[in-house]
């Protein structure tokens, strides 16, 4: 299996704090790769580096065998690399439907002249985007919330919306930052199902940061463990569960606070 | 009286165009522009100077003023690329003042504080002087309609949706693949285009422009119009611009009914009144008289 995303020797510090210290990571095409580690291990920072929200101090990221280390976030997205955020970031004063219809790339009606010169084509494309949004809302069980402002949704619904928004885009790799955080158990199943189906039926590759070990156990193979900004180990979840180093890293962090 | 009303209507038109442009930049896209007066001045002086100094026909000078506004808008937005939102506010304020000060001091070209006398008027020779103010009101009204139509088309189009998304959270818009910079520069330029148009229309209307007209307080009136009217709602913007102008002008007459206030006190009180009006609106209708409308899929897409 070829590596879809490859990060090599990534470094990032904020002031005096070394958040990521020589982390390397590989995500193979077609997998749901888990990324776990205690709080403060640098997982979210790594996500920011992978998605281009911040530039690394050192290291290299390649996606589809192309060096994307210095590429702007929107260019990475165009290549097919999409992410969500740990705290759901929905467009608050836009409806659920608009949040979804926003997402598709290269919409004709996003440009100035076609709005006036090719209104028919813009309309036709808009109808197509609308149809797709309806399908996605159906999958994500958001249909009856479609005309609500996204800012008014519950935390769990916002998480669903964020995942749903990525489905509107033709992407290959989705980075999910704690998709299960703050989601109630019923929605959790919907979410897990969705990720599973997207992987199996639509061929999407995932990299998931998650603290809910049930979700990791159900979905992820392989699982990468990160502590103190670098790679601890990597493997199947069942093996990791018995790995003393992993237990030490987790229990250590619990004991410390 | 009707002469006065026609003149007031024309001024409302200038306000409306400026406010619609600010709504594109700030109401929809969330980009702060405190340099409206500068864009207004640039439009006025570009068109005025082209006709006075170079003898360019007014029919070309006005579009040139629009393009000057467009260029300045793009340049300012590009300059602020690496800056956060609040810095854009400072940059625009600075640019606005810069333009005013250039106009004030380059008096060999602009006549500075003496004021630039502009003879040329659109269709000035074809329309009888007694009908001209009414004709000009019609011309301005047509420009307001044009600006409104363009702004409304943008707001309804996928472009408007993307711009609002950038207003809500530009980082998310970027990680979902939108070229935020392109969108920002483009909409700031379109806003600048209309501000330039308003300036040019103003210049050929009053036919005598001087730098003191373009003080930053003009920007405040336009901001008032957008906030009172309802940021994000183009109809609200028209209403807001009308309301602010009626208030500004209407209070002129209060002085006639009382001896206690001379003109000078009155003009100071008007500014205070503007502030009060803003506070009251924000208390009672924080999103303006006509708030941004919620997207309604069934009315838009079933057709």
B57-87 in b/e burial notation, b at 16+ Cβ within 10 A? ebeebbebbbbbbbebbbebbeebeeeeeee
Distance of residue B11 Cα from the nearest chain A Cα, in angstroms: 28
Strand blocks (E) in chain A:
3-14, 17-28, 32-36, 58-63, 66-67, 81-83, 173-177, 205-209, 223-227, 230-235
pLDDT band (50, 70, 90) for residue B1: low
- Provide the angle, in degrees to the nearest 10, between the axes of the packed helices B180-206 and B158-168: 110
- On chain B, the residues whose CB falls within 8 A of the CB of A94 are 161, 164-165, 168, 295
Query: Two tokens at B10?
Result: 């024309």
- For A51, A177, B242, the CA distances from A59, given in Å and listed in that order, are 14, 21, 57
Nearest CA in chain A to B187: A112
- On chain A, the residues whose CB falls within 8 A of the CB of B294 are 95, 147, 149
Give pLDDT, residue B145: 97
Residue B297 has pLDDT above 90, yes or no: no
A76, A83, A109 ranked by CB distance to B158: nearest: A109
- On chain A, the residues whose CB falls within 8 A of the CB of B231 are none
Question: What mean pLDDT do residues B262-269 have?
Answer: 77
User: What phi, psi does A83 have (nearest 5°)?
Assistant: -135, 165
8 Å CB contact of A122 and B174 = no
pLDDT band (50, 70, 90) for residue B240: very high
Count of beta carbons in the 10 Å neighbourhood of residue A228: 17
How high is the mean pLDDT of chain B? 90
- Does B177 lie at the interface with A, CB-CB under 8 angstroms? yes
Q: Which CATH architecture has domain A3-90+156-256?
A: 3-Layer(aba) Sandwich (3.40)
Q: Which residues of A touch B (CB under 8 A)?
A: 51-53, 72-74, 76-78, 82-83, 85, 89, 91-95, 97-99, 101-103, 105, 107-112, 115-116, 122, 125-127, 129-130, 146-147, 149, 165-166, 169
- pLDDT tens track for A169-203: 989 999 999 998 888 888 888 889 989 999 999 89
How far is it, in rounded angstroms, from Cα A187 to Cα A174?
20
How far is it, in rounded angstroms, from Cα A83 to Cα A96?
18
pLDDT band (50, 70, 90) for residue B302: very low
Lowest mean pLDDT among A8-22, B78-92, B164-178, B282-296: B78-92
pLDDT band (50, 70, 90) for residue B223: very high
User: What phi, psi does B62 have (nearest 5°)?
Assistant: -65, -50
Most confident of A172-186, B161-175, B241-255, B264-278: B161-175
**Collapsed DSSP state (helix, strand, coil) of residue A207:** strand
How far is it, in rounded angstroms, from Cα B22 to Cα B222?
8
Domain map (residue ranges) of chain A: 3-90+156-256, 92-152
How far is it, in rounded angstroms, from Cα B72 to Cα B94?
13
**pTM, full prediction:** 0.91
Give pLDDT, residue B303: 41
Give pLDDT, residue A251: 63
Question: What mean pLDDT do residues B11-38 have?
Answer: 95
Give pLDDT, residue B79: 84
Give pLDDT, residue B162: 96
Question: What mean pLDDT do residues B141-169 have?
Answer: 96
Domain map (residue ranges) of chain B: 2-215
8 Å CB contact of A77 and B177 = yes
Q: How far apart are the first and last CA of chain A?
A: 39
- On chain A, the residues whose CB falls within 8 A of the CB of B172 are 85, 89, 91
CB-defined contacts A:B, below 8 A: 106
Question: What mean pLDDT do residues B53-59 have?
Answer: 92
pLDDT tens digits, chain A, 257 residues: what are they? Answer: 578 999 999 999 998 889 999 999 999 999 999 999 988 899 999 999 999 999 999 999 999 999 999 999 999 999 999 999 988 899 999 999 999 999 999 899 999 999 999 999 999 999 999 999 999 999 888 999 999 999 999 888 999 999 999 999 989 999 999 998 888 888 888 889 989 999 999 899 999 999 888 899 999 989 999 999 999 999 998 888 888 888 888 766 554 43
Size (chain A), residues: 257
């Amino acid at each position: 299996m070829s590596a879809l995303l490859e990060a090599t020797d990534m470094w990032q510090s904020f002031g005096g704090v070394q958040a990521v210290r020589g982390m390397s990571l590989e995500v193979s095409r077609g997998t749901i790769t888990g990324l776990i580690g205690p709080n403060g291990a640098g997982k979210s920072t790594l996500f920011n580096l992978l998605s281009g929200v911040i530039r690394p101090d050192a290291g290299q990221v390649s996606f589809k065998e192309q060096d994307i280390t210095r590429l702007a976030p929107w260019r990475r997205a165009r290549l097919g690399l999409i992410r969500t955020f740990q705290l759901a970031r929905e467009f608050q004063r836009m409806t659920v439907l608009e949040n979804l219809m926003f997402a598709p790339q290269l919409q004709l009606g996003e440009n100035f002249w076609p709005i006036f010169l090719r209104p028919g084509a813009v309309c036709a494309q808009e109808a197509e985007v609308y149809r797709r949004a309806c399908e996605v809302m159906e999958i994500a069980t958001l249909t009856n919330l479609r005309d609500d402002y996204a800012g008014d949704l519950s935390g769990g619904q916002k998480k669903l919306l964020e995942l749903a928004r990525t489905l509107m885009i033709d992407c290959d790799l989705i980075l999910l930052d704690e998709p299960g955080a703050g989601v109630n158990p019923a929605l959790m199943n919907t979410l897990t199902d969705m990720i599973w189906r997207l992987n199996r039926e639509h061929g999407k590759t995932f990299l998931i940061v998650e603290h809910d070990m049930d979700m990791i156990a159900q979905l992820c193979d392989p699982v990468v463990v990160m502590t103190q900004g670098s790679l601890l180990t990597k493997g199947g979840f069942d093996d990791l569960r018995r790995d003393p180093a992993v237990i030490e890293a987790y229990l250590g962090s619990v004991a410390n606070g | 009286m009707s002469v006065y009303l026609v003149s007031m209507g024309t001024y409302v038109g200038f306000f409306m165009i400026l406010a619609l442009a600010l709504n594109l930049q700030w109401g929809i896209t969330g980009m702060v522009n405190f340099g409206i007066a500068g864009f207004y001045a640039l439009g006025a002086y570009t068109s005025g100077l082209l006709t006075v100094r170079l003898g360019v026909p007014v029919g070309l000078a006005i579009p040139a003023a629009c393009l000057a506004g467009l260029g300045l808008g793009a340049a300012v937005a590009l300059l602020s690329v690496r800056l956060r939102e609040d810095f854009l506010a400072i940059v625009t304020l600075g640019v606005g003042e810069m333009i005013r000060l250039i106009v004030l001091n380059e008096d060999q070209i602009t006549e500075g504080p003496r004021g630039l006398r502009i003879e040329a008027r659109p269709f000035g020779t074809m329309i009888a002087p007694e009908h001209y103010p009414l004709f000009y009101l019609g011309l301005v009204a047509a420009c307001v309609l044009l600006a409104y139509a363009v702004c409304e088309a943008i707001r309804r189009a996928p472009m408007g949706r993307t711009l609002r998304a950038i207003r809500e959270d530009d980082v998310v818009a970027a990680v979902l693949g939108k070229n935020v910079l392109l969108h920002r520069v483009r909409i700031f330029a379109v806003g600048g285009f209309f501000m330039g148009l308003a300036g040019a229309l103003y210049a050929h209307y009053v036919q005598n422009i001087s730098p003191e007209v373009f003080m930053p307080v003009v920007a405040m009136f336009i901001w008032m119009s957008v906030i009172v009217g309802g940021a994000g709602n183009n109809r609200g913007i028209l209403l807001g611009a009308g309301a602010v102008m009626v208030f500004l002008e209407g209070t002129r007459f209060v002085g006639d009914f009382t001896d206690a206030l001379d003109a000078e006190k009155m003009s100071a009180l008007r500014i205070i009144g503007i502030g009060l009006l803003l506070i009251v609106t924000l208390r009672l209708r924080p999103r303006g008289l006509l708030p941004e409308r919620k997207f309604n899929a069934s009315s838009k897409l079933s057709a």
